[in-house]
A and B are shown apart, each in its own frame.
Chain A
C-alpha cells in the first residue's frame, strides 16, 4: 500500500481528487453533475495549457516562470491584430508567432548564453509584461469580435473549440514523449552530461522546450481572450506559479527527467476542482489561496516523507541482504 502510494503518484492524486469531489457533492447537492465536469474542464483550460507548456521545460531540468507574461503578450497581440481588422486565421498565426518568439528569447538566454533558467525567465517575466503594456499603452482591449468568443463558448458536446484543441495537445504530448525523440527530453533532464556524451543535441532540445513553452502560452492567451472576451492588463499574472504548483502536485520532479502527461492533467484538474468546489460550498473566494497553498504543502509533506521512508526501507533491506550470509558462515565456521 505504502509502496503503491509513493510510486504511483497519479493514481493517488486521482483517488484524492475523486474523494474530494464526492465529499463536496455530499455537502453541496447538485455538484455531482456532468455540467460540473465540463465546467471544471473549461475553467482549467488556461492553466492546463500553461502547465503543458512548462512541462517539457521542467523535464529538461529547467524552469520557465515567464508563462503568465507570454500569455498576456500573445493575448494582446491577438486583440490588437483583430481590432486592426486582420482576419481570424492571420491574427491567430501572429499570436502564435509572438508566443514562439518570446519562447525563443528564453531559449537563447538559457540554451545559448547559459543563464540559469530561473533568472532568465524571471527577467523576461518583467520584460514581456512591459512590452505588452507598451503595446496597449496601459489600456484594456475590449470589444473583441464574436468569432473569437465563439472559440471559447461551449459548442460541440459541451466542449469549446479551445477545449478540444487542448485535448489534441494532451494526446500529442503523450504520443511525443513515447516516441524516440520524446525520450531525449527526459534524458537531457535526467543526466545532461550523459545525454551530451550520447551525442544528443542537448542545447537544441533545451531551446526547443522553451519555444514550445512560448507556443503553449500563446494558445493559453487565445483561450483566455476567447473565454473572457476582453484583455485586461494583468492577464495571466501569477498563473505560471499556479502551473508549476499543479505540475509538482502531479508528480513532475523539478529535478528533471521525471513526469507523465497524466500527472500534468490530474494536477491541473485537482487545482481547478478545488477552486470550483469552493464556489459550490459558498466559501468566499479569498479562501482559495489559503486552501490551495495548504493542500499543496500537505501533499508535498506527505509525499516527501513517504519517499524518504521508502528509501530508508530499501536501504535497510539492502543492508539486511548484505548481512544475511554472516550467520550462515558463522554456523559453517562453528561446524568446522
Chain B
C-alpha cells in the first residue's frame, strides 16, 4: 500500500487533482466537462510526441528534432495534397516523412556514435529548413500555411469518437499502444535494459541499434501524427506547427518520471504529466493570467518538481535509513 502511494504516477495524479480543484475554485466554468474535454485539443499534440519521446529517453537517447519534424510532415502532406494525390496517399506521404526523419536520426547517431542531443540538434535545423524550403515550392513562402484540404480531412480535427474529441481519442489510443509496447512486451524490456546499461545489453547480444532505431522511428511517426492532427485542426499546414511542442514535450517526459540518463520512466507518468502541463496552461488562461506568465509558471513547475525529486533523493542520502527499511 505504501509503495503504491509513494509511486511517482500517484503523486502526479494528486498534483493534477489539486490543480483542477484550485482552478475550479478560481473559475467554476473551468470544471465544466465540455471545457475540460474539448480544451484538450489545444495540448494533446504535446502528449502525442512526449509518449514516444519517453521511450527514446528510457533507451538512453534524446530527440529534439521532433519539433521540426511535426512541421515537416505537415508540409509534405500539404504538398502531396496540393499536387492532387488522394487523401490516403497524402497521409502516407506525411507518415513516411516522419518515419524517414526518425530513421535518419537513428542512422546518423549509430554511424557517428555521437551524443544524440548533438545529432538531433542538427536535424532540428535541417528539418525546419527543409520544411521552409519545401513550403516555398508550392508558393507558400515563409510561414504562410498550405491550405485547401478536402473537407473529409479538416472534419477530422473536429470529429468526435465515443463522445471524445478526435485529437484526444487519437492520443489515448496511441499512448495505450505504446503503454502495452513498453511495459508488457519483450521490446519494452529491451528498451529499459539498453537504457540501464548499453554496453551490457550489447555484450549480451541484444539488438541495441534496432531497438533504439525503433524508438526514434516511433517518435518520427508520432510527430507526423501530431502534425497531421494540427493541420486538420487549424485547416492549414505550417512550418512552425510543432515549434511550441519542444519544451512542453520534454517537460512532460521528464515530469512523468523519465530519467534523462536512461533506464527509467513510464508511459503512464508521461500521459498524466501531459495533462498536468496542459491544464496548467489552460487553467491559468481561464483565470485571466496572461499567456507569458503561464509559460513562466510551467517552466517553474518543471524546475520545482525536478528539484523536489532530487532534493528528496539528496535528503534520503543524508538521513541514515534504518536497516531493513531499504528496498
Contacts and interface: CB of A to CB of B under 8 A. Distances in A.
Contact of B254 (A109, A119, A254, A286): A119
Contacts of A284: 136
- The size class of the interface chain A forms with chain B is 35 or more
25 contacts: A109-B307, A113-B311, A116-B260, A116-B306, A119-B306, A123-B302, A123-B306, A124-B303, A126-B300, A130-B294, A133-B293, A241-B64, A244-B118, A244-B121, A245-B118, A254-B117, A284-B136, A289-B125, A289-B126, A290-B132, A293-B123, A293-B124, A293-B127, A296-B121, A304-B111
A192 interface: no
B115 A255 contact: yes
Interface string B243-275: 000010011001000001100000000000000
Interface string B297-327: 1111011001100110110000000000000
A68 to B, nearest CB: 12
A122 B292 CA distance: 16
B302 A290 contact: no
B129 A115 contact: no
B154 interface: no
A305 B295 CA distance: 41
B108 interface: yes
A286 B132 contact: yes
Most buried by B among A109, A122, A287: A122
Given A116-B261, A284-B136, A301 B296 contact: no
A109 B118 CA distance: 23
Contact of A119 (B111, B290, B302, B314): B302
Interface string A290-301: 111110110011
Contact of B299 (A126, A254, A289, A291): A126
Given A113-B307, A129-B296, A134-B292, A122 B127 contact: no
Residue among B62, B302, B311 with the most chain A CB within 10 A?
B302
A118 B260 contact: yes
Contacts, number: 156
A114 B315 CA distance: 12
B290 to A, nearest CB: 7
Interface string A79-120: 000000000000000000000000000000100011110111
Nearest to B141: A286
Given A118-B260, A122-B247, A129-B299, 5 more contacts: A109-B307, A125-B247, A127-B300, A130-B295, A304-B113
B296 A133 contact: yes
Summarize B's interface: helix, strand, loop or mixed: helix
A40 to B, nearest CB: 19
Given A127-B296, A288-B129, A113 B111 contact: no
A126 B295 contact: yes
A74 to B, nearest CB: 16
Contacts of A120: 303, 306-307
A300 B129 contact: no
A304 B299 contact: no
A133 B302 contact: no
A138 B289 CA distance: 12
B296 A297 contact: no
Interface in A298-320: 300-301, 303-305, 308
B296 A131 contact: yes
A11 interface: no
B236 to A, nearest CB: 18
